[in-house]
Amino acid sequence: MLNFFDLANSGLPYPITKDTLVLYKQVSKQYLDRYLLESIRMLVPIKIKNKFEGAVGGKLDLKIPMALLLYWFKHDFMKWMDKSPVCPSCNISLSLRYVKGNSWIVRSVEYYDCPQCSFTLAFPRYGEIENIAFNRIGRCSEWSFLFGAILSSLSIQSRIVHDFLDHCWNEALIEEKWIHVDSTLEYPISVNNPHYYEQNWNKKYQYVLAFSGTEIEDVTKNYSVNWETILQQRKKRKNSDMSRIIDYYEKI
């Protein structure tokens, strides 16, 4: 039986929190929801769906279908939510009011108010994929949550990856290998470039974890050329053993 007192006192290593693990578990479980995936699949243009059906069914190269899907998703379907939006009337920066949500379903709501006029912009941070698909706006978490569901709806097994710094993306299971896919980047950088963030964004990882509806995996070594250094740094910290994280995730 799940003991919430034990979960609350699980001693997870920094920067991993129970709220983050719950969020990614609940989001990833939606990738297993057949009815949700049928709904999400309807969003994809027929031309792209046909390309995926031909590639998946005929064991053909997924490069062209994936490129088409990424371009459509980034340029035609989703919109990026600016962290510093400007009032459309006054052309000045909006002030942020942050309201924390009470569950993974609505993680928080960001309110952006104009200090000169009555304009207010609300940005709910949803964990439910249907709401993200309806709003069609977000940052890397919303994009990866939805894009993973789209891949799953096209019979490409997917999972979410989070670096516990400021970014998340997806992995797709292609030819029995998990491949990096980031819908926020331009193709071809967005596919199979796991070291991109460390090399171009100066990432200093502690943990990079991959989440599915049933499992969590430490994939840090796949995204860093400094894996041995990271491993040595972990050993110096309290409660850094992955077994504790895996045990917690399985109990959610």
What's the rounded Cα separation, in Å, for the pair 209 and 237?
Answer: 18
Question: Which member of 87, 114, 180, 182 is catalytic?
Answer: 182
209-211 and 177-181: which strand pairing? unpaired
The arrangement of strands across the sheet holding 209-211 comes to 177-181, 168-174, 158-162, 209-211, 216-218
Question: For this structure, is 182 an active site residue?
Answer: yes
Question: Which member of 87, 140, 162, 163 is catalytic?
Answer: 140
Rounded to 5 degrees, what angle do the CA atoms 71, 219, 245 make? 120
Question: For this structure, is 167 an active site residue?
Answer: yes
Question: For this structure, is 218 an active site residue?
Answer: no
Question: Which member of 114, 162, 167, 168 is catalytic?
Answer: 167
Question: What are the residues facing 169 on neighbouring strands?
Answer: 161
Q: Tokens for 202, please give them.
A: 């100066």
The helix/strand/coil state of 142 is helix
Q: CA dist 118 to 83, 112, 123, Å?
A: 19, 11, 16
Question: So which residues are the catalytic ones?
Answer: 140, 167, 182
